[in-house]
Structure formats: structure tokens, C-alpha cells
């Protein structure tokens, strides 16, 4: 979809707010596509079947598709992707699990776009936007209805960093993130994306 077409698409509803959606999307793409590694702090709020939970920690990403969610609350919780498999560990249950990246329905998976080849127009068919907190809040509707989520919304700052992210699931679940202290291209060694189950933990391999 061309930039000209997108501009025409948003002219009527967004003139009053003076929001250049194509420019914002391109700015976010350029900002994250040029990063090889990324680190930031996060606060995560989830709503699943009426239950709400808030957690926080640090997130490390590295191309291609590697993520490490290192929680400080609850301490010891981990969610790691090595680009092929996803590993999770919950200290409260003392349980670890391995899954194929393509098969996981974990709602954190959309955040892999932060260090993938981000192309909004390739993955999403519709965008809605409004001004919020000095930035641009955009809701993107995916082209495929076979994904575990129905829409992804994010707040992009004037520097095109993503400050907030919200993912709505097919099951009406909601996952919200706020991000701070973003650093581009910090040293992030490969060993951070390797997972070894803690001694004595129940380990379930669902990747076969």
C-alpha cells in the first residue's frame, strides 16, 4: 500500500488532529528496524477471564526474534524466545515449559516485531489514530483472523519510541505494557536467550 494511498485514507478523520499516520508508522518502522539489540523496563498488566494481574521487569531483544522477559515482580519469572522455541518459567508453580514459537498463543509474541522486519502494511489492514499524551496512539487491525490477537494498539512518542502497547486477544483477554528506559544496541550476549530449567522444576516439552 503506497504512502499516497494511506495519506488519502486518513485525510478526512484526522485533519482536525493534524496526525500524519503514514509518517508515524514509517518513523516507528525505521526506529526499530535499524536496531540490532534493545533493552527496556516494562510494566505488564493482563486481564484474562475477569482476573487482573500486574507484573514488571526488564526486556531484552536481539535480532532475529530473540526475547528475554526477566521479571522482578514476581522475582524469578522468565519468558525467553531463541527465535525458534519459547521457554517459560513460573517460580510460584516451579514449572518450566518449552513450545514452538509458531505454536505459542502467548500474547507477548506480538512484541517480537520490535526487533523483526517491521512492515505495518504487510501485517495489518487497517489503522486508527488519535493524539494522546504528546504522542500518537494507533490501533492496528491484522490482515489475518487466524492470529491469537484481534488488534494491536500502541502509543508512539515524537521520537517514534513505543511507550505503551496493548494487545487484545481472540478470547477477549487484554495485555497492556508500558515501557521506559529504552536503550538501542546495548551489549546483549547470546547466553541471555538460552534456557536451562532450574533444578527440581517440573519441565514440560510441548515442542514435539
Which tens digits make up the pLDDT trace of 162-178?
999 999 988 888 999 99
**Higher-pLDDT residue of 24, 146:** 24
**Higher-pLDDT residue of 161, 6:** 161
> All domains of the chain, ordered by start, with CATH?
3-193 (2.50.20.10)
Which cell numbers hold the place of 19? 496526525
Residues 101/87, Cβ–Cβ less than 8 Å? no
pLDDT at residue 183 greater than cutoff 90: yes
pLDDT at residue 45 greater than cutoff 90: yes
What gap in Å lies between CA 150 and CA 145, rounded to an integer?
A: 7
Which tens digits make up the pLDDT trace of 55-109?
999 999 998 888 899 999 999 999 998 988 999 999 999 999 998 877 555 556 5
pLDDT at residue 13 greater than cutoff 80: no
What gap in Å lies between CA 136 and CA 114, rounded to an integer?
A: 17
Element (H, E) at 178: strand 174-184
Q: pTM (2 decimals)?
A: 0.82
Q: Provide the 10 A C-beta neighbour count for residue 161.
A: 18
As a whole number, mean pLDDT of residues 8-37 equals 72
Element (H, E) at 75: strand 75-82
Which pLDDT does position 110 carry in this prediction? 62
Q: pLDDT above 90 covers what percent of the chain?
A: 54
**Higher-pLDDT residue of 187, 9:** 187
Residues paired with residue 59 on neighbouring β-strands, in sequence order: 40, 69
What confidence category does residue 192 fall into, taking pLDDT thresholds of 50, 70 and 90?
very high
Amino acid at each position: 500500500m503506497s504512502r499516497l494511498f494511506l495519506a488519502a485514507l486518513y485525510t478526512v478523520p484526522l485533519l482536525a488532529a493534524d496526525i500524519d499516520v503514514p509518517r508515524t508508522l514509517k518513523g516507528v518502522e525505521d526506529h526499530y528496524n535499524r536496531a540490532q539489540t534493545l533493552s527496556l523496563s516494562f510494566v505488564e498488566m493482563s486481564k484474562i477471564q475477569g482476573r487482573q494481574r500486574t507484573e514488571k521487569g526488564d526486556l531484552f531483544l536481539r535480532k532475529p526474534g530473540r526475547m528475554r522477559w526477566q521479571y522482578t515482580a514476581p522475582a524469578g519469572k522468565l519468558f525467553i524466545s531463541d527465535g525458534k522455541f519459547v521457554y517459560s518459567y513460573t517460580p510460584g508453580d516451579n514449572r518450566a515449559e518449552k513450545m514452538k514459537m509458531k505454536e505459542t498463543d502467548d500474547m507477548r509474541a506480538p512484541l517480537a516485531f520490535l526487533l523483526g522486519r517491521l512492515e505495518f502494511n504487510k501485517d495489518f489492514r487497517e489503522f486508527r489514530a488519535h493524539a494522546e499524551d504528546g504522542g500518537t496512539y494507533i490501533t492496528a487491525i491484522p490482515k489475518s483472523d487466524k492470529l491469537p490477537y484481534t488488534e494491536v494498539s500502541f502509543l508512539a512518542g515524537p521520537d517514534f519510541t513505543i511507550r505503551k502497547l496493548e494487545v487484545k486477544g481472540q478470547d477477549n483477554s487484554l495485555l497492556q505494557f508500558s515501557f521506559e528506559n529504552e536503550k538501542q544496541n546495548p551489549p546483549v550476549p547470546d547466553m541471555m536467550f538460552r534456557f536451562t530449567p532450574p533444578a527440581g522444576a517440573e519441565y514440560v516439552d510441548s515442542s514435539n
